[in-house]
């Protein structure tokens, strides 16, 4: 006869309410925010001391105070501090995004008025103050040529300089390079323009122009390259330093020469960061006005030859149209500014996608 013994496991005791962590309901934070905005609006508009911006600022402060008080009463002081700091971090993010969103909205709302074929396919040549037509075709051509030439000059030079500093540079010479690159980072754009004006326009260009100094888009590209070089060098240097040493050591252990290790291992690994630094330099160069005004002179006609005669750019076009007395000039300036931002955005996205594709291809 078999006897079966059944064992009954004791059920876990119900957790008492005193051990459960009390938490604010999900609707508490939005309700506190709404109440804070309403109180802030009543105080600000009731006293007449400000407008919508002050309402948001006062409401944010009241929200932080109310959230801390509610969380402290329900969840405890530690959780209240955590919620308050989290709200501060999110507020800082919103404050950082708001200026960018404001700029984008302002450009879009003011720049769409002249977003037409005439603006992109015509120049300002023979356009009077009372003529609503006229576009920035000559400025777009000038920007693409000047920034393109400056990039062709700067990127190889900057990358090679960074490679020397990181991989080969030792002693005083490498220290001198780092020092002068840091000094060049803070050079005002007008100083770079004056340097190219004194050297290239007044001394070198007369050799190619029958003894007469001449403005050109190439001179503007030289000035822009002076501004781009320190950004490219510093960003590339930092990216090369982030490449793990075992990658280099593994290549050396396989008998790969140092130059081929740099070319096939180090540079591909650091490529995304290098591309980011290059695009930052291009964005700065595309938005410069003073160097182009000093050494390219600007102009209303289309000039495809960057080595002869005056040439304009989008940044210079915005500056000129913003100061023009014509009633049609502000619309051109806003559309040109929107075009410049869109151009830099498209170039950045294209460069990022190209770098990503090359990295995945390897």
Res. 54 pLDDT band, cuts 50 70 90: confident
pLDDT confidence of residue 55? 87
Overall average pLDDT of the 181-203 stretch: 90
Overall average pLDDT of the 327-350 stretch: 91
More confident residue, 272 or 146: 146
Overall average pLDDT of the 198-222 stretch: 90
Whether residue 6 is predicted with pLDDT greater than 60 in this model: the reply is no
Q: How many angstroms separate the CA atoms of 182 and 282, rounded?
A: 18
Whether residue 190 is predicted with pLDDT greater than 60 in this model: the reply is yes
DSSP 124-160: STT--TT-----SHHHHHHHHHHHHHHHHHHHHHHHH
Q: How many angstroms separate the CA atoms of 337 and 321, rounded?
A: 11
pTM: 0.79
Overall average pLDDT of the 324-339 stretch: 91
Res. 169 pLDDT band, cuts 50 70 90: confident
Rounded to the nearest 5°, which phi and psi values hold at 311? -150, 145
pLDDT confidence of residue 358? 58
Res. 60 pLDDT band, cuts 50 70 90: confident
* Cα atoms in the 13 Å half-sphere on the side-chain side of 303: 23
Overall average pLDDT of the 273-279 stretch: 90
Judged by DSSP in three states, 311 sits in strand
Report the candidate in 33, 38, 97, 80 with the shortest Cα–Cα distance to residue 60: 33
Overall average pLDDT of the 236-259 stretch: 90
> Among the listed ranges 64-68, 193-197, 205-209, 354-358, which one has the minimum average pLDDT value?
354-358
- Which domains can be identified in the chain, with CATH numbers? 21-112 (no CATH), 120-357 (1.10.3720.10)
Mean pLDDT of the chain: 87
Rounded to the nearest 5°, which phi and psi values hold at 328? -95, -10
Q: How many angstroms separate the CA atoms of 227 and 192, rounded?
A: 7
pLDDT confidence of residue 102? 87
Which tens digit of pLDDT belongs to each residue from 295-322?
998 888 899 999 988 999 999 999 999 9
Report the candidate in 151, 155, 350, 159 with the shortest Cα–Cα distance to residue 266: 159
Overall average pLDDT of the 242-269 stretch: 90
Res. 19 pLDDT band, cuts 50 70 90: very low
pLDDT confidence of residue 9? 59
- Residues of the chain with pLDDT > 90, as a percent, come to 40
> Among the listed ranges 59-68, 200-209, 238-247, 346-355, which one has the minimum average pLDDT value?
346-355
Radius of gyration of the chain from its Cα atoms, rounded to whole angstroms: 30
Whether residue 154 is predicted with pLDDT greater than 90 in this model: the reply is yes
CB-based contacts of 295: which residues, under 8 Å, 6+ apart?
A: 193, 196, 197, 200, 201, 215, 216, 219, 220, 222, 223
Res. 198 pLDDT band, cuts 50 70 90: very high
Which tens digit of pLDDT belongs to each residue from 22-46?
788 888 888 998 999 899 999 888 8
């Amino acid at each position: 006869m078999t006897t079966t013994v059944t064992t009954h496991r004791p059920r876990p005791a119900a957790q008492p309410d005193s051990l459960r962590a009390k938490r604010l309901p999900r609707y508490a934070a939005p309700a506190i925010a709404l109440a804070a905005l309403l109180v802030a609006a009543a105080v600000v508009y009731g006293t007449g001391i400000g407008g919508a911006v002050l309402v948001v600022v006062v409401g944010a402060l009241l929200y932080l105070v109310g959230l801390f008080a509610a969380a402290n009463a329900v969840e405890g002081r530690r959780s209240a501090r955590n919620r308050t700091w989290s709200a501060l971090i999110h507020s800082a993010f919103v404050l950082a995004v708001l200026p960018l969103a404001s700029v984008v909205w302002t450009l879009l709302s003011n720049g769409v008025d002249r977003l037409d074929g005439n603006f992109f396919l015509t120049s300002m040549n023979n356009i009077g103050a009372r003529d609503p037509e006229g576009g920035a075709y000559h400025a777009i051509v000038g920007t693409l040529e000047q920034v393109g030439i400056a990039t062709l000059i700067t990127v190889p030079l900057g990358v090679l300089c960074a490679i020397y500093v990181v991989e080969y540079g030792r002693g005083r010479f490498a220290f001198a390079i780092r020092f002068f690159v840091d000094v060049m980072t803070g050079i005002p754009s007008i100083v770079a323009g004056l340097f190219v004006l004194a050297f290239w326009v007044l001394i070198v260009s007369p050799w190619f122009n029958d003894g007469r100094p001449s403005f050109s888009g190439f001179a503007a590209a030289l000035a822009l390259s002076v501004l781009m070089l320190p950004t490219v060098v510093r960003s590339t240097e930092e990216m090369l330093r982030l490449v793990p040493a075992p990658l280099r050591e593994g290549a050396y252990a396989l008998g790969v020469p140092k130059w081929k290790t740099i070319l096939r291992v180090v540079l591909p690994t650091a490529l995304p960061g290098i591309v980011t630094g290059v695009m930052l330099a291009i964005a700065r160069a595309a938005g410069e006005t003073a160097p182009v005004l000093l050494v390219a002179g600007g102009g209303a006609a289309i000039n495809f030859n960057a080595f002869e005669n005056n040439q304009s750019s989008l940044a210079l076009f915005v500056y000129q149209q913003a100061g023009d007395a014509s009633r049609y000039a502000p619309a051109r300036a806003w559309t040109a500014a929107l075009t410049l931002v869109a151009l830099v955005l498209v170039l950045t996205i294209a460069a990022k996608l190209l770098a990503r594709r090359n990295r995945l291809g390897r």
